[in-house]
């Protein structure tokens, strides 16, 4: 199964539905976890995503996906806000500029493998983040093992 192909197919099918509900479909992620498969739809909206938004899109998208049958086996559909969305593609670093992120690296950068701060963007092959004191750090993009949006409380 071509996971990326399935993700694109689902995105094309569900995106117009999300937009009709006033939502933005940010990403679709199909992943195998343990013995099961999960299809995650990450959504956002200007006034903030509520549980009712997630439930409504889940119910409507489920009907569309049942008709398409893009995944040849059982899976769990999850609709979630962008709150802790993984950043999987370079273009997402510009899209989520200004948001808080948590980045893990394959090896130490600046004496650590875990970096947190406000995302400035991706510049010259480096992820630029800023800490609470306004100090910027640059992390070579090829050293990023995981990156995700991080909720701040």
Between CA 16 and CA 12 the distance in angstroms is 8
Between CA 58 and CA 122 the distance in angstroms is 32
User: Which residues partner with 28 through β-bridges?
Assistant: 41
pLDDT in the model for residue 72: 86
Last-in-domain residue among 57, 84, 111: 84
Query: Do 97 and 144 fall into the same domain?
Result: yes
pLDDT in the model for residue 50: 85
Domain of residue 117: give its range. Answer: 92-149
Instruction: Kindly state the average pLDDT of the residues 23-43.
Output: 90
pLDDT band at 151 (very low <50, low <70, confident <90, very high): low
Spatial CA neighbour of 112 closest among 142, 137, 132: 137
Query: Do 10 and 77 fall into the same domain?
Result: yes
Total domain count, the chain: 2
Query: Do 65 and 25 fall into the same domain?
Result: yes
Last-in-domain residue among 31, 50, 84: 84
Between CA 82 and CA 111 the distance in angstroms is 29
Last-in-domain residue among 60, 84, 108: 84
In tens, the pLDDT along 73-129 reads: 899 999 988 777 788 888 889 888 888 899 999 999 999 999 999 999 999 999 999
pLDDT in the model for residue 152: 61
CATH number of the domain that residue 74 is part of: 3.30.300.70
């Amino acid at each position: 199964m071509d996971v990326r192909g399935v993700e694109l197919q689902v995105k094309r099918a569900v995106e117009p539905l999300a937009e009709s509900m006033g939502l933005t479909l940010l990403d679709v992620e199909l992943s195998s976890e343990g013995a099961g498969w999960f299809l995650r739809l990450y959504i956002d909206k200007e006034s903030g995503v509520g549980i009712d938004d997630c439930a409504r899109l889940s119910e409507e998208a489920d009907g569309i996906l049942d008709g398409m049958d893009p995944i040849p086996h059982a899976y769990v559909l999850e609709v979630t806000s962008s709150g802790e969305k993984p950043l999987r593609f370079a273009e997402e670093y510009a899209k989520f500029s200004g948001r808080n992120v948590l980045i893990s690296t394959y090896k130490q950068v600046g004496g650590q493998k875990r970096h947190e701060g406000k995302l400035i963007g991706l510049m010259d092959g480096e992820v630029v983040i800023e800490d609470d004191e306004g100090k910027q750090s640059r992390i070579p993009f090829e050293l990023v093992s995981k990156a995700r949006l991080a909720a701040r409380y």
